[in-house]
Amino acid sequence: MKVITKLLAATALVSASAASAVELEVTHWWTSGGEAAAVSKFAEAWNATGNTWLDGAIAGSGGTARPIIISRILGGDPMAATQLNHGRQAEELIEAGLMLDLTDVAEAGGWRDIVNPPALLDSCTLDGRIYCVPINIHSAQWLWLSHDAFEKAGVEVPADWNAFVDAAPALREAGVLPLAMGQQGWQQNLAFGAITIAVAGLDAWREVTVNRNADVAAGPEYAAVFEAVADARELARGSDVQDWNQATNMVITGNAGAQLMGDWAQGEFAVAGQIEGQDYSCLPGLGLNAILDTGGDAFYFPVNRDPEITAAQKELAALLISPDVQVAFNLAKGSLPVRGDINMAAANGCMQKGLAILADGGVLPSGDQSLSADTQLQIEDLMAQFWSGDMPAGEAQAKYASIIASAD
Amino acid sequence: MTLASDIPAQTSKRPTRLFHNLMAKIASIPMILTALVVFLGGTTWTIVYSFTGSRMLPRTNWVGFDQYERLWSSDRWIVSIKNLALYGVCSMVFTLVIAFTLAALLDRKIRFEGAFRTIFLYPFALSFVVTGLAWQWILNPDFGLQSVVRGWGWESFTFNPLNDPNTVMFGLLIAGLWQGTGLIMCIMLAGLRGIDEDIWKAARVDGIGTIKTYLVVIIPMMRPVFITSLVLIASGIIKLYDLVVAQTNGGPGISSEVPAKYVIEYMFRAQNLGQGFAASTMMLVSVVIILIPWAYLEFGGKKRG
């Protein structure tokens, strides 16, 4: 098997060098409908340069794909390029010298000036060298509201989180579940993060997540956060769905009033043929704080011994961030582009709201960029426990503070 | 190779034990090496690195017992251990009881024995992932058993074990028993078939009832079969992972987490090898604690007849 692959690779290389085109294997975990469409934009653009895009999609979420990708790189069988969330996931791989240094490409392309927000590039940077290409921005702090559900309850569609909490009893009376919530740790953690930024505000959030100040995490701002999350837990009682898109579907059908979910939920509304402002509304920053985090995806290029592949990797890196490719990809994916100097007029209402916030600089680094995967999993475990049980808010806050205190 | 034929056992004056059956010993060298390097070496390596602060890559920055302190202060680990204990005890008892009962019933020379045996053994041919998914649907209140029974007219019937933190482990147990009992039953059946017909005749002559014969005569005679079953069931319990991932993924909340899942997630999702190694070492310790007294009793004492 291994020999055959090597032979194939060798023949592919020979034929490739004959045509002066290179085949690059790219691994990623974009497998849902909209995501696959977006990735094909990259493949088209790359194939148009005369090279070949060998698609290595790994089904399942990042949690499934990341270990496979990392073990391939560690095992000495690197792909040419791979998706990872920028942030600290690849930190050790970079330190071990397994990732290609893209600094010269970045300088040639002037990435420092075009990437907005600059924090995205910072999280690709280690010791002044750049190791990844930011691809898109995903933000998690969105509240999606069903107009149908609020009509049933006879109340106005709320304009922010507080109004939503006030409207919740009316929803319950009308037989509508106020808050749809998939029973998975990462979704509960996402909801916690969104509520934190809305309730505690940016300063407290930054102090805890970026500076890891456990005193603030145990303080009054976060006490209010945990009370609010405990309220949200009551609003979500009876939500037995698991996957996020099942929860989104409850909002689409009007069986639930709202859902806290990232901007990727928009794709589900679009597929269901719903129109923003008419069938559903979106509130970035829950309508309280117009701030979005700037998590997202980036491409890394594992170090390869073949100089031809290395050259092609750098070519691909420059292509991924070029204006046309950015527009095509992000329109298909429903995410925001990483550069502020391109025309996104074709984007819909929710995306425009997001773009406006980006332009105003209402951004903060995502948890991925500040906390290690280890700390995040601990917080996720805590949230899973908190949301599905009866743990008092104070106890959860104490546990959270101790996780922050031991975070690295 | 030539060495072996040069020293035939018969000609040497005092054949040392080392050269006895030399060819067999040479043939088993690969397996011995595998056992030493892969199992023992891998285990030692894991234990050593559980005392380091290794994150994504193994490193030797010693941190003492920090990983273990963190492990035992983690709610998720405590819940995992409790779940495994509950699942383990229930699974052990129910598998043995159900499997033996089924085997004894089949042994009563019933009609269509082959068909029943196949039906009972069939679930074992499925992977745990398929079993988990199938039972997730069967136990789903909106599509599965509950809605079927309600459809028959029993409107108040409630059976929703997977969404209640207090009962979710029993939902897993049902699926695990459904999958695993068949195999144990077959082993027991083979054991029952190995019992001499004369024993039954003797019991009948002495006027001992059927059930009492099973309990007092047959079961003690089937001791080796029970030991085999115990080992099989126990190894199935310790490695419980895929069933949980497929059926509940640890939910609701963390109420159906198990130790193996903790190990995998902290090693690969949290990229914290040290923590994962500490957890897997604790799993090993728990196995050893159970295994050593048992092995001592079984093999250390006098040979039983």
- Which distant-in-sequence residues (6+ apart) come within 8 Å of B14 by Cβ? none
Residue pointed to by tokens 């906390």: A371
Is the CB of A374 less than 8 angstroms away from the CB of B163?
no
Quote the distance between the C-alpha of residue A239 and its chain's center. Answer: 24
The rounded distance, in Å, linking the Cα atoms of A333 and B272 is 32
> What's this model's pTM, rounded to 2 decimal places?
0.77
Residue A110 has pLDDT above 70, yes or no: yes
Query: Which residues in chain A have their CB less than 8 angstroms from residue B165's CB?
Result: 388-389
Helical axes A220-235 vs A393-405, angle rounded to 10°: 130
H-helix or E-strand containing A358?
helix A349-359
The rounded distance, in Å, linking the Cα atoms of A235 and A229 is 10
| Residue B172 and residue B27 share a domain | no
Q: Over pLDDT 90: what percentage of chain A? A: 27
* Mean pLDDT to the nearest integer, B47-58: 89
Q: What is the pLDDT of residue B3?
A: 46
Per-residue confidence at A277, pLDDT binned at 50, 70, 90? confident
Q: What is the pLDDT of residue B95?
A: 95
Q: What is the pLDDT of residue A16?
A: 41
Q: Over pLDDT 70: what percentage of chain A? A: 92
Q: Compute the mean pLDDT over every residue in chain B, rounded to the nearest whole number.
A: 86
| Residue B229 and residue B166 share a domain | yes
Is the CB of B269 less than 8 angstroms away from the CB of A89?
no
| Residue B170 and residue B22 share a domain | no
* Mean pLDDT to the nearest integer, B254-278: 91
Q: What is the pLDDT of residue B290?
A: 80
- Residue of A73, A84, A377, A380 to mutate when probing chain B, most B C-beta within 10 A: A377
Instruction: Kindly write down the DSSP assignment for every residue of B196-250, as one continuous string.
Output: -HHHHHHHHHTT--HHHIIIIIIHHHTHHHHHHHHHHHHHHHHT--HHHHHHTTT
Residue of chain A with shortest Cα separation from B164: A388
Specify which residues A54 forms β-bridges with: A25
The rounded distance, in Å, linking the Cα atoms of A203 and A7 is 57
Query: Both tokens of residue A7?
Result: 């032979």
Query: Which residues in chain A have their CB less than 8 angstroms from residue B266's CB?
Result: 374, 377
Residue among B89, B119, B258 nearest B181 (CA): B119
Domains in chain A (CATH in brackets) are 2-138+295-364 (3.40.190.10), 142-293+371-405 (3.40.190.10)
| Residue B212 and residue B70 share a domain | yes
Supply the Cα-derived Rg of chain A in whole angstroms: 22
Per-residue confidence at A406, pLDDT binned at 50, 70, 90? confident
- Residue of B136, B269, B275 to mutate when probing chain A, most A C-beta within 10 A: B269
| Residue B275 and residue B168 share a domain | yes
Given the cut 0.90, state whether the ipTM is greater than it.
no
Residue of chain B with shortest Cα separation from A371: B270
Q: Over pLDDT 90: what percentage of chain B? A: 38
Give the closest of B249, B253, B265 to A385, CB-based: B253
H-helix or E-strand containing A8?
helix A2-18
Within A241-345, residue ranges assigned H as helices are 244-252, 265-271, 307-320, 323-333
Cβ burial A136-165 (10 Å sphere, 16+ → b, else e): bbbbbbbbbbbbbbbebbebebbeebeebb
Query: Which residues in chain B have their CB less than 8 angstroms from residue A376's CB?
Result: 270
Query: Which residues in chain B have their CB less than 8 angstroms from residue A92's CB?
Result: 55-57, 271
| Residue B130 and residue B21 share a domain | no
- Count CA atoms within 13 Å of residue B12 on its CB side: 13
Query: Which residues in chain A have their CB less than 8 angstroms from residue B168's CB?
Result: none
Residue type at A390 in one-letter notation: D
Give the closest of A91, A93, A389 to B253, CB-based: A389
Q: What is the pLDDT of residue A45?
A: 92
**CA-CA-CA-CA dihedral for B7, B11, B14, B20, to nearest 10:** 50
How near does any CA of chain A get to the CA of B283, in Å? 20
The rounded distance, in Å, linking the Cα atoms of B217 and B209 is 11
> With an 8 Å Cβ cutoff, is B249 touching chain A?
yes
Give the domain extent around B179. 66-300
Residue type at B209 in one-letter notation: G
- Which distant-in-sequence residues (6+ apart) come within 8 Å of B13 by Cβ? none
Query: Which residues in chain B have their CB less than 8 angstroms from residue A389's CB?
Result: 165, 253, 255
Q: What is the pLDDT of residue A87?
A: 64
Task: Report yes or no on B55 lying in a domain.
Answer: no
**Any idea which of A59-63, A248-252, B266-270 has the lowest mean pLDDT?**
A59-63
pLDDT in tens, A131-153: 999 888 888 889 999 999 999 88
Residue B4 has pLDDT above 50, yes or no: no
Residue among A405, A370, A5 nearest A193 (CA): A370
Residue of chain A with shortest Cα separation from B250: A184
Helical axes A373-388 vs A393-405, angle rounded to 10°: 170
Distances (CA, A) of A188 to A19, A89, A148, A389: 51, 21, 25, 12
Give the closest of B165, B270, B271 to A389, CB-based: B165
- Count CA atoms within 13 Å of residue A215 on its CB side: 0
- Residue of A387, A388, A390, A395 to mutate when probing chain B, most B C-beta within 10 A: A388
| Residue B122 and residue B44 share a domain | no
Per-residue confidence at A11, pLDDT binned at 50, 70, 90? very low
Query: Which residues in chain A have their CB less than 8 angstroms from residue B251's CB?
Result: 183-184, 242, 384, 388
Count of structural domains, chain B:
2
Residue of chain B with shortest Cα separation from A384: B253
Judge whether A350 and A360 are in contact, CB under 8 Å. no
Supply φ then ψ for residue A333, to 5 degrees: -90, -20
> With an 8 Å Cβ cutoff, is B247 touching chain A?
no
Q: What is the pLDDT of residue B253?
A: 82
Q: What is the pLDDT of residue A316?
A: 92
> With an 8 Å Cβ cutoff, is B250 touching chain A?
yes
Residue of chain A with shortest Cα separation from B265: A377
- Residue of B162, B245, B254, B255 to mutate when probing chain A, most A C-beta within 10 A: B254
- Which distant-in-sequence residues (6+ apart) come within 8 Å of A379 by Cβ? A189, A192, A371, A400, A403
3-class SS string, B170-191: HHHHHHHHHHHHHHHHHHHHHH
Residue among A383, A23, A45 nearest A187 (CA): A383
**Any idea which of A20-29, A173-182, B6-15 has the lowest mean pLDDT?**
B6-15
Query: Which residues in chain A have their CB less than 8 angstroms from residue B254's CB?
Result: 185, 381, 384-385, 388
H-helix or E-strand containing B281?
helix B273-295
**Cβ burial, residue B6 (10 Å; 0-12/13-18/19+):** exposed
Most confident by average pLDDT, A190-204, B90-104, B193-207: B90-104
> With an 8 Å Cβ cutoff, is B180 touching chain A?
no
The rounded distance, in Å, linking the Cα atoms of A157 and A150 is 6
The rounded distance, in Å, linking the Cα atoms of B169 and B88 is 11
Query: Which residues in chain B have their CB less than 8 angstroms from residue A184's CB?
Result: 249, 251
How near does any CA of chain A get to the CA of B252, in Å? 6
Q: What is the pLDDT of residue B300?
A: 67
Specify which residues B192 forms β-bridges with: none
Supply φ then ψ for residue B293, to 5 degrees: -60, -35
Task: Report yes or no on B216 lying in a domain.
Answer: yes
| Residue B74 and residue B223 share a domain | yes
Is the CB of A388 less than 8 angstroms away from the CB of B251?
yes
Task: Number of A to B CB contacts under 8 A, please give it.
Answer: 73
| Residue B1 and residue B113 share a domain | no
**Any idea which of B55-59, B61-65, B172-176 has the lowest mean pLDDT?**
B55-59
| Residue B164 and residue B132 share a domain | yes
Residue B86 has pLDDT above 80, yes or no: yes
Per-residue confidence at A12, pLDDT binned at 50, 70, 90? very low
* Mean pLDDT to the nearest integer, A170-180: 91
pLDDT in tens, A301-324: 999 888 889 999 999 999 999 888
Give the closest of A67, A93, A183 to B251, CB-based: A183
Task: Report yes or no on B160 lying in a domain.
Answer: yes
| Residue B22 and residue B151 share a domain | no
The domain spanning residue B168 has which CATH number?
1.10.3720.10
Q: What is the pLDDT of residue A33?
A: 67
Q: What is the pLDDT of residue A4?
A: 52
> With an 8 Å Cβ cutoff, is B198 touching chain A?
no
The rounded distance, in Å, linking the Cα atoms of A304 and A135 is 22
Supply φ then ψ for residue A293, to 5 degrees: -85, 165
| Residue B282 and residue B192 share a domain | yes
Is the CB of A384 less than 8 angstroms away from the CB of B75?
no
- Which distant-in-sequence residues (6+ apart) come within 8 Å of B40 by Cβ? none
Residue A95 has pLDDT above 70, yes or no: yes
Task: Report yes or no on B61 lying in a domain.
Answer: no
Residue A368 has pLDDT above 70, yes or no: no
> With an 8 Å Cβ cutoff, is B57 touching chain A?
yes
Cα A314–Cα A317–Cα A321 angle in degrees, nearest 5: 145
The secondary structure of residue B34, as a DSSP letter, is I
